[in-house]
Amino acid sequence: MMCEKCGESQATVHYTEIINGHKSEVHLCEKCAGEKEVGSHFSINHLLAGLLDNQIDGNMKIDYVEPQKCKVCGMTYNRFKETGKLGCSECYSTFNDRLNSLYKRIHGHDVHVGKIPIKSGKSMKVKKDIEKLQLELKEAIENEEFENAAILRDKIKKLEKNIKE
Amino acid sequence: MKWLDGEGSDKDIVVSSRIRLARNIRDIKFPQELNNEMAEEIKNKVNNSVIADERNNDVFKYYDLKDINSTEQRVLVEKHLISPGLLQNSQIGGFLIRKDEKVTVMINEEDHIRMQVIYPGLNLEACWEEADKLDDIIEANTEYAFDEKIGYLTACPTNIGTGMRASVMLHLPSLVLTKQINGIFQAVSQIGLTVRGLYGEGSNAKGNLFQISNQITLGESEKDIMNKLKNIVQQLINNERQAREKIYKFNKIKIEDKIYRSLGILKNARIMNSEESMELLSDIKLGIEMNIIRNIGRKTINKLIIKTQPANVQSKYNKDLNPNERDIKRAEIIRKELDI
């Protein structure tokens, strides 16, 4: 059986689709099935977009989004899935939504703990310091240590200014 | 190679400790996607960053993989100075080696930068201290790809976070002999550690040598990772020691027989394949650790394990050997080393 979409390759992916109560069999080749998967990436926005499409022509449109590409290296999520390797550091922001759940599955965690580079991590270190001071400030206010609170508040302001610069 | 010296803490069981850090330069494609021109640029950049610090000036030497023939490349892998992964990128890869061969910086492996520090015995802290310092030196002259939430960014998401792989190489013949090894490794893999053979991913545990390393790099600090690994390694050391004691106590004549037979074969055989030599050398190593063999040093055996690897044998004779010729040369090398 040939792929229903491109008609060029052998269909290897078969499944049943139900749209508006209408049941149909779908037969696709691996490539088209992969593209379809990108198209059906679920988020509220995409679901809404899908609903809107449905209202217009009554049929679920498959490829209403172009496969997302990294703007620095041109990597697509499908290619990443094939090789397991991303193309550049920017890919992590490009595919952030989809990678996020992967981190938990691989590592059991999704937040870095440990070394922070001196240069690239400078603002991060300051942010962590600010968070710590804010906790202390809250505590000071609760304990009515207003003099101490004023000192802490000034420290925070100074650090925040540093970040902006 | 200092890491084969047979020195350091728990040297009767632990061959070596290693820390590897993966780093990338921001906004530049990862090696797999690089063109040759950019790859050259990265080699220069990293090379310069390392030697920019005067402490590194005369102690590191740079090599381009293109300038090294394939046998010598494999010799370096067998010596654990570079990784098999670097050879996959032999067109764009290069590396820096410190004079004492404890520190290597690989360039354009899976990531732009992979630095490794390797020490004999159980000494992860010393490895980390050196790697940490070197990391700071390189960072001073480059912009690392780092994300506030998920840490150091690497080509493969399995390395993000600390980008650190800590591993310890252990010789565990008695746990293999008493068939406890599989159960132990199953338990180890359930707590985020992984066990591999002498030559890493996909290699068999020939010669009863096992590398144990962390799998998780995100959400655990470098110290946490090292402590967890050390804790497990310590338990394995204790188990191996207990098994050795038991064997000695209840099967003394049997184990002596096994070890001396192996020594007899190694000293006399004329043809020796790599698998058999690893197995027999492991017996001799155990004999030394159990104080059954006293006139051969630990260092001699450790080095022999590497010297008898295929590319090492090949390189010593400086011409193309077929496997048969290689097995004959291997037997020769062993006889010469053990002729005491």
* Partner-chain contact A112 B219, CB within 8 Å: yes
Q: What pLDDT score was predicted for residue A52?
A: 43
Q: Which residues contact B10 (CB under 8 A, 6 or more apart)?
A: B121, B122, B237
Domain range summary for chain A, segments of one domain joined by +: 1-41, 43-114, 121-164
* Partner-chain contact A120 B222, CB within 8 Å: no
| Residue B292 · residue B259 · CB < 8 Å | yes
Residue A103's pLDDT band, with cuts at 50, 70 and 90, is very high
* Partner-chain contact A111 B222, CB within 8 Å: no
Residue A33's pLDDT band, with cuts at 50, 70 and 90, is confident
Could you give the domains of chain B? 2-240 (3.30.590.10), 252-337 (no CATH)
Sign of CA dihedral A67, A68, A70, A71: positive
* Partner-chain contact A118 B140, CB within 8 Å: yes
**Taking the CA atoms of chain B, what radius of gyration do you get in angstroms?**
21
Residue A26 host element (H or E): strand A22-28
Q: Which residues of B touch A116 (CB under 8 A)?
A: 146
d(CA A132, CA B297): 55
Point out the least confidently predicted range of A90-94, B197-201, B322-326.
B197-201
Q: What is the mean pLDDT of residues B18-37?
A: 94
What does pLDDT average to over chain A? Answer: 77
Return the higher-pLDDT residue of B3 and A80. A80
d(CA B226, CA B217): 11
Q: What pLDDT score was predicted for residue A165?
A: 62
CA distances from B165 to B60, B81, B127, B201, B223 (A): 22, 15, 11, 13, 12
* Partner-chain contact A118 B136, CB within 8 Å: yes
Q: What is the mean pLDDT of residues B264-287?
A: 95
Q: What pLDDT score was predicted for residue A64?
A: 52
Q: Does B300 touch chain A (CB under 8 A)?
A: no
Question: Mind telling me how many Å the CA of A106 is from chain B's nearest CA?
Answer: 7
Residue A41's pLDDT band, with cuts at 50, 70 and 90, is very low
Q: Which residues of A touch B221 (CB under 8 A)?
A: 113-115
Q: What pLDDT score was predicted for residue B15?
A: 94
- Each residue of A110-125: pLDDT tens digit? 999 999 998 877 777 7
Q: Which positions in chain A have a beta carbon within 8 angstroms of at least one beta carbon in chain B?
A: 72-73, 75, 83-90, 92, 99, 102-103, 106-121, 124, 127
Q: What pLDDT score was predicted for residue B193?
A: 92
Nearest to A92 among B28, B29, B150 (CB): B150
Residue B58 has pLDDT above 90, yes or no: no
- Each residue of B97-119: pLDDT tens digit? 999 999 999 999 999 999 999 99
Percentage of chain A lying above the pLDDT 70 cut: 74
Q: What pLDDT score was predicted for residue B261?
A: 97
Q: Which residues of B touch A119 (CB under 8 A)?
A: 139-140, 143-144
- Each residue of B138-195: pLDDT tens digit? 999 899 999 989 999 999 999 999 999 999 999 999 999 998 888 888 888 888 899 9
CA angle B103, B109, B114 (to 5 degrees): 35
**Size (chain A), residues:** 165
Question: Mind telling me how many Å the CA of A32 is from chain B's nearest CA?
Answer: 25
Q: Does B151 touch chain A (CB under 8 A)?
A: yes
Residue A4 has pLDDT above 90, yes or no: no
Strands (E) across chain B are located at 14-23, 60-64, 94-98, 103-107, 113-120, 146-147, 151-152, 164-171, 193-196, 209-214
Interface test with A, best of B29, B216, B223 (most A CBs within 10 A): B29
* Partner-chain contact A112 B158, CB within 8 Å: no
Write down the pTM of the prediction: 0.79
Helix, strand or coil for residue B97?
Answer: strand
Q: How many CB atoms lie within 10 A of CB A133?
A: 17
What does pLDDT average to over chain B? Answer: 92
